Structure 1
């Protein structure tokens, strides 16, 4: 029988989508106020992988990832997903419907072996965590890089995202060594 242990701390990140860099900056500021200083961020990247968000968010979407200095417990992702949904709702209310969804915030966490996304949508490869939130292992770390699964979103398969997550993994590794 295996011994039950507390999980190691994990690295929180949020993938932000918006049609303007200004909205990304505003969302990042709100996230910093809630989760503390950013230690790793990606460049602003064009999001050209799907038209899924076009109707509610508009065209020419931009993606940016941010990660925070403070590590979290893996089960904190439930509260974090609820909080990011509330932030999205605040943006939508302030925009008065133009666009209907000004910002999309996708929280997740990284361990030394995987990248996990939080979602409200159930599917065969997702595990229910509680309070309406599911978790999806989106990438796994093998042979020095993050590899996709068959269900991994197209943008998460790109070299740019992979580089961000490898950098994030190194930060986590340093943090765990010094703890």
Structure 2
């Protein structure tokens, strides 16, 4: 028989897509920090070239930036976090279109799970209309994509940043366990 155990915290991961960074970046980052904690990882601008899914709404060329935050968060907060990011997207609408797409998730030593409001065969319902998308798993020393992983998340340019974030997260977990 299995015995329920509350998991440790995860690393809040946020991907932002936009073609108009100059219109919001200076104001959005403090708003994110106010809600989620201080930014402790910020990627360079990464061109989104694997899909044109967002082009009509966000314009072109689209660049992604990845952010993570400190402190670590309890895994059951993912629906709440997604609802906050949805609200921020709504607050920043221009001509009924989003200026940016906020893609929150939680990174653990084993996986990257993104939050979404869309159901699909491999997604697990969490709460409040939010689903968990198991996007990548970490096994045999590296990030491995799954049959449903979006091509941009399966790319080496994203996995490189995820390796760095995971290493930092592991150190944060070790430090937290030493202080207990």
The TM tier, using the shorter chain, reads over 0.9
Residue 21 of structure 1 deviates from its aligned partner by 2.9
* Unaligned 5+ runs, structure 2: none
What RMSD in Å do the two structures reach over aligned CA positions?
A: 1.2
SS of equivalent residue, structure 1 residue 147: strand
Aligned match of 2:13: 13
- Report if the CA contact (8 A) 1:21-1:44 is conserved: no
SS at structure 1 position matched to 2:109: coil
Structure 1 position 25, deviation (Å): 4.2
Is 1:115 the counterpart of 2:116 in the alignment?
no
Cα distance in 2, alignment partners of residues 21 and 90 from structure 1 = 16
Query: Shift of residue 143 of structure 1?
Result: 2.1
Match of 1:174?
171
Residue 166 of structure 1, CA deviation: 0.9
Per the normalisation by structure 2, the TM-score is 0.93
Which runs of at least 4 in structure 1 moved beyond 4 Å after TM superposition? none
Aligned mates of 1:35, 1:141 — CA distance in 2: 25
Give 1:110 deviation, angstroms.
Answer: 0.4
Q: After superposition, where does 1:1-179 map in structure 2 within 5 Å?
A: 1-22=1-22, 23-92=24-93, 95-97=94-96, 100-179=97-176
Q: Which moved more, 1:78-87 or 1:17-26?
A: 17-26
**Unaligned 5+ residue runs, structure 1?**
none
TM-score of the pair, normalised by structure 1 = 0.93
Q: Any idea what SS the aligned residue of 2:168 has? A: helix
